[in-house]
Amino acid sequence: MPLRVLGVDPGLTRCGVGVLDAGAGRGAHLVDVGVVRSSPDDPIDRRLLAISRGLREVIELHVPDVVAVERVFSQNNTPTVMGTAQVSGIAILLAAERGIPIAMHTPSEVKAAVTGNGRADKKQIQTMLVKLLGLSGPPRPADAADALAIALTQLWRGPGPVRLDAAGAARTSAQAVWAQAERSARHARESSTSRF
């Protein structure tokens, strides 16, 4: 089974999610891309619950081998940073509950991996994703494209804090057994009803 990565672009209103399978060489295959949303009109507890439920659904549906999250960095807008950090924590916790290794990548690292330029803008990233993944157009909204870029960075550059070998050696034996069972079930589901 190919290595599957879930990329997460944390955000409180729109949390980008992108799932890629490793292909031959530096190839990658799109599995799913989108956003998990919460309403700005809801109180923070309801918003975080909505994001948590959406991320849990994506993880359970696609059973990633690694969850790669954009590392939160300091901005002048403290409320935005707080919301982003809270959503990052949810993604990390959901992965940890399932024994899925996590990795974190800075925005400049993601830009450099995808475009070769650590200062690339969103349009440049989207253009490269279209070329690299053979898409008909850039994923929308931008949060979804950013999540794919994070997943692609993980496939190409490996970790943040966790590196997996081809056999998933960073996992405990129990985690490896669980992951293999989940991959087998996923493969059976995808064989019977493919979405793509």
**How many structural domains compose the chain?**
1
pTM (two decimals): 0.80
Average pLDDT over the chain reads 85
Query: What are the C-alpha distances in Å from 45 to residues 49, 78, 86, 88, 143?
Result: 6, 18, 11, 15, 22
Q: How does residue 43 score in pLDDT terms, banded at 50, 70 and 90?
A: very high
At 108-152, the pLDDT tens digits run 999 999 999 999 999 999 999 999 999 999 999 999 999 999 999
CATH number of the domain residue 185 falls in: 3.30.420.10
Q: State yes or no: 121 annotated in a binding site.
A: no
Which structural domain, as residue segments, surrounds residue 97?
4-192
pLDDT of residue 28: 94
Beta bridge mates, 140: none
Determine whether 37 is exposed, middle or buried from the number of CB atoms within 10 Å of its CB (0-12, 13-18, 19+): middle
Q: Active-site residue numbers?
A: 9, 70, 143
3-class DSSP state of 36: strand
Nearest residue to 65 (alpha-carbon basis) of 150, 169, 161, 148: 169
At 44-74, the pLDDT tens digits run 999 999 999 999 999 999 999 999 999 987 6
Q: State yes or no: 165 annotated in a binding site.
A: no
Q: Is the pLDDT of residue 40 over 60?
A: yes
Q: State yes or no: 9 annotated in a binding site.
A: yes
What burial letters (b/e) apply to 152-180, b meaning 16+ CB within 10 Å? bbbbeeebbebebeeebebbeeeeeebbe
pLDDT of residue 177: 45
